[in-house]
A and B are shown apart, each in its own frame.
Chain A
Amino acid sequence: MEAFVNQLPIGISIGAVLLLIALGLTFTFGQMGVINMAHGEFIMAGAYTAYLLQDLTGRMAVIVALPVAFAVAGLMGLILERTAIRHFYGRPLDTLLLTWGVSLVLQQLARDLFGAPNVQVQAPAWLQGGIGTLPYNRLFIFVLALLTVAGVWAYLNRTGQGRRMQAVMQNRGLAAVSGIDTGRVDQRTFFIGSGLAGVAGVALTLIGPVGPTLGTYYIVDAFLVVVAGGLGSLLGAVVAAAGLGLLNSYAEFWSDASLAKVIVFAVIVAFLQVRPQGLFVLRSRALS
């Protein structure tokens, strides 16, 4: 029982990290249907942003880096969308191969710029320690994930930009003939989705070292979260991330890391056999 309780914060914080990554994917993958394999490298870029900011801001780097990494990763996403991805809309396989190539190039670029060995980002002093078995840094990630979910929800449902984004994703053709500049909405969607990857990258610096392949470790799980949650569903992403995080940490605790991956994967495959549409489907008469 004690082991069970001790494992809980780890599971929740893995879930929170997955959620942060998956939130970005609900924009680019869930809403736009683009499988962007370079999303993991935007995470890596966010983490290195925090690393670089240390010289300027010392131990506050993690906090300062949140908005900066959002902008850095967002711009990288925007450039990728403008120069490459938009020419491949509706061609998922081409997009996948293209962005996979971009992902490898970005990893090499990181190796050239920062060296192959991992680097460390110092967390602020006030994030050291914890309450009982719950370390502050993991609590911080949890709160950050919740705030980000709330922010994304408010953006989508309470702003004109968010409404236009939803309209484009629900019916692109109708959005265009309703006067919405769909290309511009796509750019914005990609900027925000990629920017959120940068934020996730900053969060990752709190629980581990930063290296060129940082993003690849989580990216598959994050895609699974989006699929299992139901494409584009915010609530689905939250529930699936929490479920996957907990499952991951307990499977790892009772077996080992690689077997845990197999178990998690098997559970998701089984789940998708039963519910191919994911946890939450956006249902309506028009779609049924």
Chain B
Amino acid sequence: MLSVQGLESGYGRARVLFGISLSVEPGELVCVMGRNGVGKTTLLDTVMGVLPATAGMVAFAGEDVTRLPSHRRVALGMAYVPQGHATFPQLSVLGNLLVTLEACRGPREALEEALETFPRLKPLLKRSAGFLSGGQQQQLAIARALVTRPRLLILDEPTEGIQPSIVIEIEEAIERLHASGMAVLLVEQYLELALRLADRFLILDAGHVVHSGTAADLRQEETRRLLAV
């Protein structure tokens, strides 16, 4: 489904990723872990075309997308929820969902489905997104991505800085989406959550993949040490 090979990128002269390779098979949930500043967000941004790749390749569903602009990748079935529960703050909750639905020319049912995933948003449809709580904004951010009916959902620290009650809802939603057959690429710092959700994981350090394996491997002491802050 997603195949990344030898990916390099960075900001101006500062290189951040030094040849990352990974793959996500259809229906698989792959978790990317690592300390702050190791390049997790940079990796997802490059996979999505927000940052240009300086070397390497990104392929999705058998197509080389390395040079495609972000919106074309979305059209192919990739959806991205960036770090920090970003929304369009002055659009209403419904406006946030509609604008995405219209951009990908999706059917109205896709919007209803996304709302079923986060029913908490239903009474808030007319509210400005900027006035929601952080947790509600994150649910909206994920619902916005789901409106495109993606085949691969890419999430960057969806539970970061969010009240515990909503973290549970978000975790359950990801679990359900995964169970329904959606492939997920998840960046998550919270080990327990990663252990519950992931089929496979990789650990990044300083722009390299330093470890990868199955969830069972993740339980080992040695792997935990790599993640220690």
Contacts and interface: CB of A to CB of B under 8 A. Distances in A.
Interface of A: 160, 163-164, 166-167, 170-171, 173-183, 282-287
Contacts, number: 93
Contacts of A182: 71
Interchain residue pairs A-B with the least CB separation, the first 10: A284-B130, A179-B74, A284-B89, A179-B103, A176-B70, A286-B89, A160-B102, A177-B80, A179-B104, A178-B100
A26 to B, nearest CB: 14
18 contacts: A163-B95, A163-B102, A164-B99, A166-B90, A167-B91, A167-B99, A170-B89, A171-B87, A173-B86, A174-B87, A178-B74, A178-B144, A179-B148, A181-B69, A181-B103, A182-B71, A284-B89, A284-B90
A230 to B, nearest CB: 12
A166 B88 contact: yes
Interface in B197-223: none
Interface string B58-93: 000000000001110011000010100011111100
Given A174-B88, A175-B88, 9 more contacts: A164-B103, A170-B91, A176-B49, A177-B50, A179-B103, A179-B104, A284-B89, A284-B90, A286-B87
A177 B74 contact: yes
B68 to A, nearest CB: 11
Given A176-B69, A177-B50, A287 B89 contact: yes
A153 to B, nearest CB: 14
A163 B100 CA distance: 10
A284 B131 contact: yes
B137 interface: yes
B88 A285 contact: no
Contacts of B69: 176, 181, 183
Contacts of A171: 86-89
B80 to A, nearest CB: 4
Interface of B: 48-50, 69-71, 74-75, 80, 82, 86-91, 95, 98-100, 102-104, 128-132, 137, 144-145, 148
Contacts of B70: 176-177
Contact of B71 (A163, A179, A282, A284): A179
A163 B91 contact: yes
Contacts of B131: 284-285
A65 B181 CA distance: 57
A85 B122 CA distance: 42
Contact of B82 (A163, A167, A174, A287): A174
Nearest to A287: B89
A285 B130 contact: yes
Contacts of A180: 71, 99-100, 103
A177 B130 contact: no
Nearest to A180: B103
A179 B146 CA distance: 12
A173 to B, nearest CB: 6
A232 B130 CA distance: 17
A267 B50 CA distance: 43
Contact of B99 (A176, A178, A284, A286): A178
Nearest to A166: B91
A167 B90 CA distance: 9
Given A170-B91, A286-B130, A176 B50 contact: yes
